[in-house]
């Protein structure tokens, strides 16, 4: 059960990255527009601020669409269904608020209950579930127009209406719990909340579930009424609305910009002399990525599996950065991942940050702490961090990756092939071949693959292709390739489609026990296959169909 739950949570975590990916650009527009720089004309600043404001003001709808798209392999009908489902959910909640004697609020011009991004996520999940259940529905001839995918928005609206009635009864106590948590985390004891957040978030990184943990802190914690009278929630939204108590997760700037890059340098210096050049290329690149963007997985997965205890120490240090930052009154904003770009744009150049300059003092201190801890642990415990193992295998593009040689009969090291097509082929083979890939996704830093037979996945081959770590639970496999993961996923998807072996999503428990997955080779009945063959022939065979 845990393994199946992990696969489902992995899909949800990946789906949440679609709406989150909108935030950096929206935050950039909002941050620059709100700063009102003298060298930017006032009208341009106003336009930029309005563009960013509207995104942050409609996050629930964006989450609804993003979750639906992420859970249905980017299907546009699911996106429309999610939008329909969300507005229906809002309307039903508004009606039921009157029934239960609850004062409604206005959301997108609709009288409703305040469910925040959780309501959007629920609507997206409903749309995805209805899509998987009804996208192949066949209706009688006189209703044939509404068959197939056209039926999905209709049944989603009906399901959202039922969900709205049920939610109206259970949401008020949930809302009170969220309000209590929000007040504690934002007002009563933000230091403890930030410290706990920092520790747990790092522990969830290996499983790719930290996106789920982030949601209540980023988008629900606390409440603030801006100058226009609009109430905003979440640490990110409140910071950009000008709440002086927001920005309590500032400590992450310390370990993402300084601590982990220093750990990467420590691993480089600890590598065997003959491997230092190769390891240096990897670690310097990973350190720069962490410093500039706050993406830390390429560094963390370099030592996670060889030294889990060291990773726990890292999580404790990360928690300590949040404790120290909160104690010293640091309030800083971000939209992406607390790297150098966010530090410069939203804090150094922004209007709302408090005590951002302490990063320049505390950062080097944490760099020294990380370097000493990692260098000492690697040397005293003889940890097999990059460059200290017996074999260092070359990876594509002249980089190097940790691991032994690829197992025989699997896939050759990536350095032996060139080009995106060759890399996509090697990746498919490393995951056990096209027939073994049930579903294929990616988030910011990792490929997320559900496989039919986990024993066919070649971890050494994945490392030879550049993965800094491979995590597997049940049928779920995650390979960390850093920011290139999304491009790799696209290349693999194109390769699979070109070879006629596109992956089919495995049914999710969230979609019901009897819910059919998208059709895969061998799962279509004979009559349907014969009809499809005749249609294809009438259209001029496969070569004539784009």
Spatial CB neighbours of 472, under 8 Å, sequence gap ≥ 6: 454, 457, 478
Instruction: Name the nearest CA neighbour of 72 among 510, 484, 483.
Output: 510
Q: What is the DSSP string of 267-324?
A: HHHHS-GGGHHHHHHHHHHHHHHHHHH---HHHHHHHTTT-HHHHHHHHHHHHHHHHH
Q: Rounded to an integer, what distance in angstroms lies between the CA atom of residue 263 and that of residue 520? A: 45
Q: Rounded to an integer, what distance in angstroms lies between the CA atom of residue 121 and that of residue 215? A: 10
- For residue 129, the tally of other CB atoms under 10 A from its CB is 22
Please report the sign of the dihedral spanned by the C-alpha atoms of residue 536, residue 541, residue 542, residue 546: negative
Q: Rounded to an integer, what distance in angstroms lies between the CA atom of residue 302 and that of residue 333? A: 28
**Chain length of the chain:** 546
Dihedral over alpha carbons 74, 75, 80, 82 (to 10 degrees): -60
Regarding beta strands 400-402 and 110-112, do their DSSP bridges make them parallel or antiparallel, or are they unpaired? unpaired
CB 399 within 8 A of CB 281: yes
Q: Rounded to an integer, what distance in angstroms lies between the CA atom of residue 453 and that of residue 475? A: 7
Q: Rounded to an integer, what distance in angstroms lies between the CA atom of residue 523 and that of residue 529? A: 10
Q: Rounded to an integer, what distance in angstroms lies between the CA atom of residue 485 and that of residue 377? A: 30
Residue with tokens 């999710």: 508
Q: Rounded to an integer, what distance in angstroms lies between the CA atom of residue 1 and that of residue 7? A: 10
CB 158 within 8 A of CB 81: no
* β-pair partners for 401: 393
* β-pair partners for 105: 112
Strand arrangement of the beta sheet that strand 469-473 belongs to? 437-442, 446-451, 476-480, 469-473
Instruction: Name the nearest CA neighbour of 311 among 319, 303, 320.
Output: 303
Give the CA count within 13 Å in the CB-facing half-sphere of 75.
22
Known catalytic membership, residue 443: yes
- For residue 173, the tally of other CB atoms under 10 A from its CB is 9
CB 403 within 8 A of CB 460: yes
Catalytic hit among 17, 117, 429, 443 = 443
Give the CA count within 13 Å in the CB-facing half-sphere of 451.
26
CB 345 within 8 A of CB 220: no
CA angle 531, 532, 533 (to 5 degrees): 90
Just list the catalytic residues: 443
């Amino acid at each position: 059960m845990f393994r199946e739950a992990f696969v489902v949570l992995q899909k949800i975590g990946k789906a949440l990255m679609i709406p989150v990916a909108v935030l950096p650009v929206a935050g950039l527009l909002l941050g620059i527009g709100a700063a009102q720089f003298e060298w930017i004309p006032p009208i341009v600043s106003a336009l930029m601020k309005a563009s960013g404001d509207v995104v942050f003001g409609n996050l629930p709808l964006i989450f609804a669409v993003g979750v639906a798209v992420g859970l249905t392999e980017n299907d546009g009908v699911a996106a429309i269904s999610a939008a329909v489902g969300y507005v229906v959910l809002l309307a039903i909640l508004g009606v039921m608020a009157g029934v239960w004697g609850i004062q409604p609020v206005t959301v997108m011009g609709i009288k409703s209950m305040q469910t925040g991004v959780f309501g959007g996520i629920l609507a997206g999940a409903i749309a995805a579930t209805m899509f998987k259940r009804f996208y192949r529905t066949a209706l009688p001839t006189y209703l044939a127009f509404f068959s197939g995918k056209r039926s999905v928005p209709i049944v989603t609206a009906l399901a959202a209406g039922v969900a709205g009635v049920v939610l109206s009864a259970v949401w008020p106590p949930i809302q009170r719990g969220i309000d209590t948590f929000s007040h504690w985390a934002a007002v009563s004891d933000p230091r403890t909340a930030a410290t706990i957040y920092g520790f747990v978030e790092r522990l969830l990184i290996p499983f790719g579930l930290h996106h789920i943990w982030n949601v209540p802190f980023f988008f629900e914690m606390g409440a603030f009424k801006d100058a226009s009278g609009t109430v905003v929630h979440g640490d990110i939204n409140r910071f950009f609305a000008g709440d002086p108590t927001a920005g309590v997760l500032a400590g992450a700037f310390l370990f993402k910009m300084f601590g982990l890059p220093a750990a990467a340098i420590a691993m480089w210096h600890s590598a065997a002399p003959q491997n230092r050049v190769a390891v240096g290329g990897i670690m310097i690149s990973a350190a720069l990525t962490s410093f500039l963007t706050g993406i830390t997985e390429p560094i963390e997965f370099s030592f996670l599996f060889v030294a889990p205890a060291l990773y726990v120490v890292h999580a404790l240090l990360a928690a300590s950065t949040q404790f120290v930052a909160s104690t010293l009154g640091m309030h800083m904003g971000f939209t992406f991942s607390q790297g150098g770009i966010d530090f410069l744009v939203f804090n150094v150049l922004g209007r709302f940050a408090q005590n951002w300059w302490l990063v320049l003092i505390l950062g080097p201190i944490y760099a020294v702490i990380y370097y000493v801890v990692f260098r000492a642990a690697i040397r005293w415990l003889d940890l097999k961090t990059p460059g200290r193992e017996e074999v260092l295998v070359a990876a594509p593009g002249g980089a190097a990756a940790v691991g032994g040689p690829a197992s025989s009969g699997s896939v050759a090291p990536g350095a032996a092939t060139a080009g995106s097509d060759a890399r996509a082929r090697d990746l498919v083979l490393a995951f056990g071949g096209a027939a073994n890939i049930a579903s294929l996704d990616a988030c910011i830093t990792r490929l997320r693959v559900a496989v039919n037979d986990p024993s066919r996945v070649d971890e050494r081959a994945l490392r030879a292709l550049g993965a800094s770590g491979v995590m597997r639970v049940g049928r779920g496999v995650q390979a960390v390739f850093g920011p290139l993961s999304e491009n790799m996923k696209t290349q693999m998807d194109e390769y699979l489609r070109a070879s006629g072996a596109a992956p089919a999503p495995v049914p999710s428990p969230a979609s019901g026990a009897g819910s059919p997955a998208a059709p895969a080779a061998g799962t279509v009945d004979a009559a349907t296959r014969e009809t499809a063959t005749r249609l294809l022939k009438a259209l001029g065979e496969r070569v004539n169909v784009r």
